[in-house]
């Protein structure tokens, strides 16, 4: 998980905000505003592509080389055509979009496509983000689609990521805050609540909710990034946001389910935690944070340097392994109680030494504070270089004399 970064493409959301109060009729708050999506928050792609040759009169430029892929979405089929600007093109350099799934394409709903040769008869590429719109069920939907595609011999694979977001101003008691909902699973709706994985520990992704700070910034120190349906604190009250049945209107309301407090004893961190019934995304420091009463396990966690080391490019990443939910190590958060979750630093380093004849192989296993080495993977990453540099190893004999030194290598 990365810190928030701005995405260049602008998407226009049609999210209508409704304010709620006991005994009062719901009233609209504020209508469409241009919004930005954030690259790390863009949802899961669609991958169920069904390939076909373009039909006669489909509108492609290069029918001999073009390929159509059709995806299933919550609002019906959507087709793309991997095409080229020239009728003699050997590889695609643009993507055409048919948001009705009819297989008919035009010169308006297009995005540039850059293909890169990986080996003979093998190339892959992705489209450039663009802002498009289409009509569906009497509503204009604004979207920034992304396509990834590869072809290896006769094998093909395509994925379609649909970036949709809506923003509105809502009243939470006596406070007014901008909120943004970002589509988390490319189904072109903004009403999906994340659910814990059933077969393996993880999350069935839903949509993301951003709450601006008092100055209206979604990136300020007081802004919050959580999962839709998750409770959050404003002032001294706990709220949540519900999305209407049309998928494009939100209602803020007081959260009235049992809650406790979850504390992670580090200065700078963010993570996603899965309970048996709930999923929460938290960002913070040492202070306890309100969560629905449940038993939580780590799905993903990032910890960043603080204090004198705050400018260090290193960070700590913890991710759940392939483990069944009933075997996960959990932190029980009881209603009205505060529970501290052990995760992240300090790390335990365990050397692994194998000796075969005169050959000695030295490895290293990292475990975090949860002490659940078979359930998570732990890694140190560098902000600019990706993986952190491998550590130096010094081997000494029983008298303390150095007999060998070298660096470990990633396996």
Q: Which residues pair with 392 in a beta bridge?
A: 407
| Predicted pLDDT of residue 129 | 85
| Predicted pLDDT of residue 13 | 47
| Predicted pLDDT of residue 4 | 29
Domains in the chain: boundaries: 50-163
| Predicted pLDDT of residue 147 | 94
| Predicted pLDDT of residue 78 | 92
**pLDDT tens per residue across all 411 residues of the chain:** 333 232 333 344 445 554 444 333 334 343 343 444 455 556 678 899 999 999 999 999 999 999 999 998 877 899 999 999 999 988 899 999 999 888 899 999 999 999 988 888 899 999 998 888 888 777 778 888 899 999 998 899 999 988 788 888 888 888 888 888 888 887 777 888 999 999 889 898 888 888 999 898 888 888 999 999 899 999 889 999 887 777 777 888 899 999 999 999 999 999 999 999 999 999 988 999 999 999 999 999 999 988 777 777 878 888 888 889 998 899 999 999 999 999 988 888 777 778 888 777 777 777 788 877 667 788 778 776 666 677 777 778 788 888 777 776 665
Q: Cβ-count burial of 255 within 10 angstroms (0-12 exposed, 13-18 middle, 19+ buried)?
A: middle
DSSP 316-357: EEEEE-S--GGGS--EEE-TT-EEE---SSSPEEEEEEEEET
Q: Which residues neighbour 321 within 8 Å (Cβ) at sequence distance 6 or greater?
A: 374, 375, 376, 377
| Predicted pLDDT of residue 10 | 37
16, 137 Cβ separation under 8 angstroms: no
The dihedrals phi and psi of 30, each to the nearest 5 degrees, come to: -150, 145
Cis peptide before 346 (omega within 30 of 0): yes
**C-alpha to C-alpha distance for 103 and 54, rounded to whole angstroms:** 7
**C-alpha to C-alpha distance for 100 and 26, rounded to whole angstroms:** 33
Running DSSP on this structure, what letter comes out for residue 312?
Answer: -
DSSP 3-53: ---EEEEEEEE-PEEEE--TTS--EE----EEEEEEGGG--PPB---EEEP
HSE, CB side, 13 Å, CA atoms: give it for residue 292: 19
In whole angstroms, what separates CA 107 from the centre of its chain?
A: 31
409, 392 Cβ separation under 8 angstroms: no
């Amino acid at each position: 998980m990365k810190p928030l970064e701005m995405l260049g493409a602008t998407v226009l959301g049609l999210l209508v905000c409704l304010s709620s109060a006991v005994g009062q009729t719901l009233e609209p708050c504020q209508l469409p505003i241009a919004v930005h999506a954030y690259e790390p928050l863009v949802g899961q792609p669609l991958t169920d592509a069904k390939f076909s040759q373009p039909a006669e009169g489909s509108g492609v430029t290069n029918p001999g080389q073009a390929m159509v892929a059709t995806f299933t979405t919550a609002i019906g089929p959507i087709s793309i055509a991997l095409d080229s600007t020239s009728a003699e093109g050997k590889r695609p350099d643009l993507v055409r979009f048919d948001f009705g799934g009819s297989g008919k394409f035009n010169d308006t709903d297009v995005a540039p496509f850059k293909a890169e040769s990986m080996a003979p008869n093998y190339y892959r590429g992705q489209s450039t983000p663009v802002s498009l719109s289409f009509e569906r069920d009497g509503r204009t939907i604004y979207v920034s689609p992304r396509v990834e595609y590869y072809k290896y011999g006769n094998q093909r694979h395509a994925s379609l990521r649909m970036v949709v977001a809506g923003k509105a101003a809502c009243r939470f008691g006596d406070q007014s805050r901008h909120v943004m909902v970002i589509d988390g699973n490319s189904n072109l709706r903004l009403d999906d609540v994340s659910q814990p994985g059933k077969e393996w520990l993880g999350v069935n992704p839903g949509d993301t909710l951003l709450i601006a700070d008092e100055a209206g910034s979604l990136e300020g120190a007081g802004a919050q990034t959580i999962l839709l349906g998750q409770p959050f604190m404003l002032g001294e009250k706990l709220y949540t946001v519900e999305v209407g049945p049309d998928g494009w209107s939100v209602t803020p309301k007081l959260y009235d389910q049992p809650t406790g407090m979850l504390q992670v004893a580090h200065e700078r961190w963010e993570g996603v935690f899965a309970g048996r019934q709930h999923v929460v995304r938290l960002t913070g420091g040492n202070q306890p944070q309100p969560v629905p009463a449940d038993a939580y396990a780590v799905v993903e966690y990032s910890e960043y340097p603080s204090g004198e080391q705050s400018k260090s490019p290193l960070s700590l990443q913890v991710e759940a392994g392939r483990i069944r939910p009933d075997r996960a190590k959990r932190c029980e958060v009881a209603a009205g109680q505060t529970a501290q979750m052990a995760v992240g630093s300090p790390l335990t380093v365990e050397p692994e030494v194998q000796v075969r004849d005169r050959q000695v192989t030295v490895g290293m296993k990292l475990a975090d504070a949860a002490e659940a080495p078979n359930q998570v993977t732990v890694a140190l990453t560098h902000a600019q270089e990706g993986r952190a540099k491998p550590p130096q190893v010094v081997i000494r004999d029983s008298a303390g004399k150095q007999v060998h030194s070298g660096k470990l290598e990633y396996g």
